[in-house]
């Protein structure tokens, strides 16, 4: 952006230098430190860097990084795109991303749920993408109803276009103060945080679906719900699911003109098909039609280590990241039932220090396959599996768990820092 004021140009350049130094000295990928240096010199830097570009902000509890990547890939069809591909999703990361692609006319930024109101306000982004809200790291994160309420306030009275998942009642409520919304039926397998109306507190009725208690008789496998099964309405007030214009229907997407496109993406699982439909709806808001966007989405094979395969001594481990109960439910859907699985759980700051959430995950779907347990909180997970009658083997480390496998394929599910530890062990696998 050549029209940046001198101070902002300097702040931006020094930030990039700090980022380069951080990478060169092996301290990190530089996406946070660079932004912090820039913001310290020019607090208005994010607003200035955001000017004169079309920005999409992407927020949700799960799928932010992957969807940001999918939208970025699609929009590259139109021109250069600035993006925080490494998941540094707070303002310092946004400064860093925009600063390192100064001339890109487009930007796609993953935004932490809590920071979204501030970042909408600062950047004046044209498009905001909202996918799902569920319980996550309760010891440090805000309550999700309060988050949705803050989204509503941030979007009210603005000329922002929102792409939102109509199947998630809390997301719908959070998005519905926006001037214009493209509603997408992207599904909502995890419903434990939305049995009550966000507007009035009354019970939500779901068409064709009786209340299924958590830990009830359903397995963790995510079914192929027909689009109608995603319908919901409050029994006591007028709040109900808006009519979606994009629909995820099994392996395909139905666009607003009723055309059906097989998704055929390389990223596995229902959650990624949902992310892809959201990405297609977002691309169209940027003027990019499905026929040009979809081939770009199909090129994405892994995202910052997610879904990548690492190899050691003939064992090929596919890495899945799951940080909360909704994420584990989606991860189970990706597992190959014929393969053993390694589970790794930590409880460091970024994971949430309270491991109680393990009890919200229904592990019974893992019965009948070899299960290996590791991570800093392996004993919490071991007891959880014991109570679920899932046989398991306790191992001291991921490497030991991998070595315990016969040569061949194995699936891995790990939460945030456990996942990063595995990536580091394998040279920051992407």
Partner 1 sequence: MPSDSVLRLVWIYPDLLSTYGDQGNVLVLEQRARRRGIPVETLHVRSADPVPESGDIYLIGGGEDRPQILAAQRLRRDGGLHRAIGRGAAMLAVCAGYQIMGSVFGGEEGQPVEGIGLLDIASGRGTGRAVGELVAETDPALGVPTLTGFENHMGVTRLGPGVRPLSRTVVGTGNGDGTEGCYAGKVIGTYLHGPALARTPGLADLLLTWATGTQLGPIDDVWFERLRQERLAATLPRT
Binding site feature residues: 197, 200, 234, 237
Could you identify the residue written with the tokens 């999409």? Answer: 56
Burial letters 258-273, b for 16+ CB under 10 A, else e: eeeeebebebbbbbbb
Site string for partner 1, 317-356 (x = CB under 8 A): ------------------------------------xxxx
Q: Given candidates 156, 237, 387, 430, which one binds partner 1 under the rule CB under 8 A?
A: 387
- Cα separation values, 45 from 13, 98, 254, 361, Å: 11, 10, 40, 42
Site string for partner 1, 223-262 (x = CB under 8 A): ------------x---------------------------
**Are the CB atoms for 68 and 110 separated by under 8 Å?**
yes
Distance CA 302, CA 245 (A): 28
Q: Given candidates 156, 179, 379, 403, which one binds partner 1 under the rule CB under 8 A?
A: 379
Nearer to partner 1, 106 or 357 (CB): 357
Residue ranges of alpha helices (H) inside 307-415 are 325-334, 378-387, 398-403
Could you identify the residue written with the tokens 């808006």? Answer: 242
Distance CA 342, CA 395 (A): 10
Structure tokens at 141: 């994160």
- Binding segment for partner 1 (CB under 8 A), chosen from 93-101, 167-175, 191-199, 283-291, is 191-199
Nearer to partner 1, 202 or 262 (CB): 202
193 is catalytic: no
Q: Given candidates 16, 53, 54, 135, which one binds partner 1 under the rule CB under 8 A?
A: 135
Q: Given candidates 218, 233, 252, 382, which one binds partner 1 under the rule CB under 8 A?
A: 382
Residue ranges of alpha helices (H) inside 124-262 are 144-155, 169-175
Q: Given candidates 5, 157, 203, 250, which one binds partner 1 under the rule CB under 8 A?
A: 203
- What is the smallest separation between the CB atom of 395 and partner 1, expressed in angstroms? 14
Residues 359-378 contacting partner 1, CB under 8 A: 359-360
Nearer to partner 1, 115 or 359 (CB): 359
357 interacts with partner 1 by CB under 8 A: yes
- What is the smallest separation between the CB atom of 369 and partner 1, expressed in angstroms? 20
Q: What are 379-383's contacts with CB under 8 Å, separation 24+?
A: 380/345, 380/347, 380/355, 381/343, 381/345, 381/355
Say which of 168, 354, 380, 411 is annotated catalytic.
354
- What is the smallest separation between the CB atom of 424 and partner 1, expressed in angstroms? 23
In this structure, is the dihedral angle defined by the CA atoms of residues 92, 96, 99 and 104, taken in order, positive or negative? negative
The binding site for Zn(2+) comprises: 197, 200, 234, 237
Residues 142-161 contacting partner 1, CB under 8 A: 143-146
Could you identify the residue written with the tokens 């596919």? Answer: 318
Burial of 13 (0-12, 13-18, 19+ CB in 10 A): middle
- What is the smallest separation between the CB atom of 149 and partner 1, expressed in angstroms? 10
190 interacts with partner 1 by CB under 8 A: no
- What is the smallest separation between the CB atom of 234 and partner 1, expressed in angstroms? 11
**Are the CB atoms for 14 and 42 separated by under 8 Å?**
no
Burial letters 165-179, b for 16+ CB under 10 A, else e: bbbbbbbbbbbbbbe
Query: Total binding residues for partner 1 by CB under 8 A?
Result: 37
Positions in the binding site for partner 1 (CB under 8 A)? 135, 138-140, 143-146, 192-193, 195-196, 201-203, 211, 213-216, 235, 353-360, 379-380, 382-384, 386-388
Catalytic residues: 354
């Amino acid at each position: 952006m050549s029209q940046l004021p001198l101070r902002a140009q300097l702040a931006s350049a020094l930030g990039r230098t700090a980022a380069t130094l951080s990478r060169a000295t092996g301290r990190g990928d530089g996406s946070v430190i660079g932004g912090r240096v820039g913001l310290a010199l020019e607090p208005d830097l994010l607003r200035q860097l955001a000017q004169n570009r079309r920005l999409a902000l992407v927020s949700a509890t799960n799928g932010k990084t992957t969807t940001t990547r999918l939208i970025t890939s699609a929009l590259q069809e139109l021109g250069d795109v600035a993006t925080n591909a490494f998941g540094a999703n707070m303002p310092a990361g946004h400064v860093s991303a925009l600063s390192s692609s100064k001339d890109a006319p487009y930007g796609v930024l993953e935004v932490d749920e809590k920071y979204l109101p501030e970042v909408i306000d600062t950047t004046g982004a044209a498009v905001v993408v909202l996918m799902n809200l569920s319980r996550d790291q309760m010891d440090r994160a805000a309550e999700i109803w309060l988050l949705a309420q803050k989204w509503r306030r941030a979007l009210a009275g603005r000329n922002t276009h929102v792409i939102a998942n109509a199947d998630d009642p809390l997301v719908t409520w959070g998005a519905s103060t926006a001037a214009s919304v493209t509603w997408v039926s992207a599904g909502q397998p995890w419903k434990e945080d939305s049995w009550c109306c966000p507007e009035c507190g009354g019970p939500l009725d779901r068409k064709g679906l009786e209340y299924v208690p958590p830990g009830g008789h359903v397995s963790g496998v995510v079914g192929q719900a027909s689009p109608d099964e995603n319908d919901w309405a409050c029994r006591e007030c007028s709040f109900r699911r808006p009519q979606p214009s994009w629909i995820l229907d099994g392996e395909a997407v139905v666009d607003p003109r009723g055309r059906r496109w097989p998704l055929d993406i390389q990223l596995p699982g229902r959650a990624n098909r949902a992310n892809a439909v959201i990405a297609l709806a977002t691309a169209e808001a940027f003027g990019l039609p499905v026929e040009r966007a979809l081939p770009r989405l199909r090129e994405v094979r892994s995202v910052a280590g997610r879904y990548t395969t690492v190899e050691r001594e003939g064992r090929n481990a596919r890495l899945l990241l799951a940080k909360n109960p909704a994420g584990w439910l989606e991860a189970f859907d990706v597992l190959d039932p014929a393969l053993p699985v390694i589970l790794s759980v930590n409880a460091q700051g970024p994971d949430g220090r309270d491991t109680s959430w393990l009890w919200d995950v229904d592990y019974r779907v893992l019965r009948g396959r070899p299960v290996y347990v590791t991570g800093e909180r392996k004993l919490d997970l071991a007891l959880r599996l014991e109570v679920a009658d899932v046989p398991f083997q306790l191992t001291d480390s991921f490497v030991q768990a991998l070595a315990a496998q016969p040569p061949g394929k194995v699936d891995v599910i790990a939460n945030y820092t456990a996942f990063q530890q595995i990536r580091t062990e394998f040279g920051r696998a992407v």
